[in-house]
Chains A and B, each alone.
Chain A
Amino acid sequence: MDGFTTQELMAILAMQGFAGVSFFSVLLLMALGLAIIYGQMRVINMAHGEFMVMGAYATYLCSITLGQFPGMTDYYLFLALPIAFASAFAMGYLVEWVLIRHLYHRPLDTLLATWGLALIMQQGFRSIFGAREVSVTVPGWLRGSYQPTMMIDIPLNGIAILVLTLFVTLGVWWLLFRSRWGLRVRCTTANREMSGAIGINTKRVDRMTFALGCGIAGIAGAAFTTISSTGPTSGSLYIVDTFLVVVFGGAGSLLGTIASAFSIAQAQSVMEFFMGGSMAKVLTLLTVIAILLMRPEGLVASKVRR
């Protein structure tokens, strides 16, 4: 480390810290939707990545449509986020009604069915948007970096995703723990028969929960278009990390998901700095497996009686 002033090393340390935080927000945003679906409903939704891709394509459509109007290229994202949410939400609603609701008592079959759904959606994207990856024009205000000092560059889109993740997490927390709807969801998770007996329409709760999880995946997809490109099969890149975060955190616990996303992101980003990407990934996975062996229920065990 010779040739570096303390100041420079501190600057790199600060940027490295932000790299970890930024990766944390990406992982959390990916996992939130699944935390609801898998955590509350025990549905293994293999098509979760495809719902993200759906949100990403919705954003792409917004960007090319609004891009035709001068001056709108900077602001299309504000319209794209609700549209991405709405389209993925609607699709999720439909999928629950057509497919998932028939399979609630057969968890392994939902795995197969949603995997099939993922393949169908992939081919659908390919037929509509073509096999080539597309990417959106990143608005001017998201490009470049914020420089608190001469040596520190904090990427703006990293900050934007962090803020978005914060809002979505707060929103999910409020919905689950402070709204009537959340109460019904938690009731249904805790004891389905009893919830039905006291007058909760559990089927409706299921449908809304699934659709909401998909809608949040859509928002995540919209945000990721500012990081990476979107192709018909991009969803499969996200699905592994997403499940890793949810399972490691402990299904059914929002706090667990947050803790898990944070520890995986920080561990990986620190190790990446010292030993490179692939090795870091291997060590992260090994650590996660070791911890899951000792704590099969994940970091934060949910107190649901089964």
Chain B
Amino acid sequence: MLTQRTRTSRTGHLPLRRRLLAGLAALPLALAISSTTAWGNPPTSEVNTTGLAVTDDTVQVGILHSLTGTMAISETGSVEAEQLAIEQINAQGGILGRQIEYIIEDGASDWPTFADRTRKLLTQDNVAAIFGAWTSASRKAMLPVLERENGLLYYPTFYEGLEQSPNVIYTGQEATQQILASIDWAWNEQGARTFYLIGSDYIWPRTSMKIARIHIEEVLGGEVVGEDYAPLGHTSFGSNINRIRLRRPDVIFAAVVGGSNVAWFRQLNAAGINGDNQTLLTISVTEDEVLGIGGENVAGFYSAMKYFQSLDNENNAAFVEAFQERWGADSVIGDVTQAAYLGPWLWKAAVEKAGTFDVDAVSAAMADIELTTAPEGYVKVHPNRHLWSKTRIGRWNETGQADVVWESDLIEPNPFPEGYQ
């Protein structure tokens, strides 16, 4: 699967000789296009004043995720979604009459490598935009390079917030969108008054739980009866489960990640805690994770996400069909995969609004870009460079899909929530 994918990616950088040959072969075509340029496409000198890799009929972008290493599990779906979006845009005629070519780089689950590959994409390849990064650590590593070399990054993961860079568009939810809405749901719809917070021990769960605790205790007036962090990769949750039993929370609010998730849910079930007798709300489980955990172990538990594969709307039906046609009928699509799919489309809309590929102009044009074709429904870019989005509560069933039981209104992104820091 992976080898095949890496092979397809090579089209981005063919050896020079083959590129020349391909260029010669495409000469008649290029002539035809240049004649259309005369009455359709703006000339390259107009849409590219800063030396980006833009020609009369192509524009280059970068895709930078972990193809190897521990994060490859999570990032694979994002690479697939970004490739699909680019191929679909190309099939519709590209952007400003130019076909998008992508260069895939491997961040190898190593944060300095992400910075290094970003530098390569921006200074050697002169890409017009980068779709990539997954963990906050990799984004933080890329950030200084992006700001110095003036690149543009579309970042797909839901994350802890507290960041807003002119060089990044955040297509996933920031913490408050996901957390406040889902806790309000538990409070109002489930009548929950006591919460037990548990997560893996690193920045995202810690920041998320901090926000959750303030919201529960100070805004709603409820009670946090326990807060617990397990080291990354932890697989023995017996003691944690006994602590939870002792506190008897109305809701377990969980942000356990990675392989730990599988152990956590299996052991909950083995201990007799399941969807029938306990409300559990998690902000870290998407369809991708359920694939590993097994539908029977999460059945009846709830996830708070902006997107579920089972969303019932026309955009999503078309997206799921196209994705499974391209990447296999048994592919599952999680929240981040969908957010990654939005990246190229948002970039296309901004480039067309700006009428140029120049990073500053595109960046300035990002605010208030709308997409009505997003699988998650309508999205709009906020001036703070995050997306307005809805938060949904999905209830997992045995087949590994979620039934959406509740949906919020469009929520304004608020990466620097006052009173929650």
Residue of A nearest to B71 (CB): A131
Report yes or no: B3 in contact with A143, Cβ–Cβ below 8 A: no
Residue of A nearest to B230 (CB): A277
Write the nearest CB–CB distance from A52 to chain B, whole angstroms.
12
Select which of A138, A272, A277 is within 8 A of B266 by beta carbon.
A138
Assembly CA distance A145 to B273 (angstroms):
10
- Asked whether any CB of chain A lies closer than 8 Å to the CB of B113, the reply is no
- Asked whether any CB of chain B lies closer than 8 Å to the CB of A18, the reply is yes
Q: A130-B1, A138-B266, A277-B231 are in contact. Are A18 and B201 (CB under 8 A)?
A: no
For the side of the interface on A, what is the size category? 35 or more
Residue of B nearest to A127 (CB): B3
Report yes or no: B270 in contact with A156, Cβ–Cβ below 8 A: yes
- Asked whether any CB of chain A lies closer than 8 Å to the CB of B45, the reply is no
Give the residues in chain B near A270, CB-CB below 8 Å.
Answer: 239
Select which of A12, A137, A138 is within 8 A of B246 by beta carbon.
A12
Chain B 230-243: CB-based contact to A (< 8 A → 1; otherwise 0):
11011110111111
Report yes or no: A22 in contact with B236, Cβ–Cβ below 8 A: yes
Report yes or no: B228 in contact with A276, Cβ–Cβ below 8 A: yes
Assembly CA distance A130 to B6 (angstroms):
12
Give the residues in chain A near B291, CB-CB below 8 Å.
Answer: 132
- Asked whether any CB of chain A lies closer than 8 Å to the CB of B2, the reply is yes
Consensus secondary structure, chain B interface: helix
- Asked whether any CB of chain A lies closer than 8 Å to the CB of B315, the reply is no
Q: Which of B62-70, B141-149, B151-159 contacts A (4 or more CB under 8 A)?
A: B62-70
Report yes or no: B76 in contact with A12, Cβ–Cβ below 8 A: no
Give the residues in chain B near A237, CB-CB below 8 Å.
Answer: 233, 235, 259
Report yes or no: B72 in contact with A153, Cβ–Cβ below 8 A: no
Residue of B nearest to A232 (CB): B72
Write the nearest CB–CB distance from A293 to chain B, whole angstroms.
23
Write the nearest CB–CB distance from B267 to chain A, whole angstroms.
6
- Asked whether any CB of chain B lies closer than 8 Å to the CB of A195, the reply is no
- Asked whether any CB of chain A lies closer than 8 Å to the CB of B20, the reply is no
Chain A 129-141: CB-based contact to B (< 8 A → 1; otherwise 0):
0111111011000
Assembly CA distance A132 to B242 (angstroms):
31
Give the residues in chain A near B238, CB-CB below 8 Å.
Answer: 15-16, 18-20, 22-23, 155, 158, 269
Chain A 213-255: CB-based contact to B (< 8 A → 1; otherwise 0):
0000000000010111101111011000000000000000000
- Asked whether any CB of chain B lies closer than 8 Å to the CB of A189, the reply is no
Give the residues in chain A near B293, CB-CB below 8 Å.
Answer: 135, 229
Report yes or no: B243 in contact with A277, Cβ–Cβ below 8 A: no
- Asked whether any CB of chain A lies closer than 8 Å to the CB of B245, the reply is yes
Give the residues in chain A near B383, CB-CB below 8 Å.
Answer: none
Select which of B242, B270, B272 is within 8 A of A273 by beta carbon.
B242
Write the nearest CB–CB distance from B233 to chain A, whole angstroms.
4
Give the residues in chain B near A226, CB-CB below 8 Å.
Answer: 266
Chain B 293-317: CB-based contact to A (< 8 A → 1; otherwise 0):
1101000000000000000000000
Q: Give the contacts of A247-272 with B (CB-CB under 8 A).
A: 269-270, 272
Give the residues in chain A near B73, CB-CB below 8 Å.
Answer: 131-133, 231
Report yes or no: A19 in contact with B229, Cβ–Cβ below 8 A: no
- Asked whether any CB of chain B lies closer than 8 Å to the CB of A278, the reply is yes
Give the residues in chain A near B233, CB-CB below 8 Å.
Answer: 237
Residue of B nearest to A26 (CB): B236
Give the residues in chain A near B93, CB-CB below 8 Å.
Answer: none
- Asked whether any CB of chain A lies closer than 8 Å to the CB of B269, the reply is yes
Assembly CA distance A147 to B270 (angstroms):
11
Assembly CA distance A46 to B185 (angstroms):
48
Query: Can you list 25 A-B pairs, Cβ within 8 angstroms, ordered by A?
Result: A15-B242, A16-B238, A20-B238, A23-B236, A26-B235, A127-B2, A132-B72, A132-B292, A133-B262, A137-B294, A147-B272, A155-B238, A156-B270, A226-B266, A227-B266, A228-B235, A228-B263, A229-B262, A229-B293, A237-B233, A237-B235, A269-B236, A270-B239, A277-B228, A277-B240
Chain A residues engaging chain B, CB cutoff 8 angstroms: 4, 12, 15-16, 18-20, 22-23, 26, 123, 126-127, 130-135, 137-138, 143-145, 147, 153, 155-158, 224, 226-229, 231-234, 236-237, 269-270, 272-273, 276-278, 280-281
Known A-B contacts: A228-B262, A233-B70. Give 4 more (CB < 8 A).
A19-B236, A26-B235, A145-B271, A276-B230
9 tightest CB-CB pairs across the interface, nearest first? A19-B238, A155-B270, A131-B72, A272-B239, A277-B230, A229-B262, A229-B292, A237-B233, A153-B272
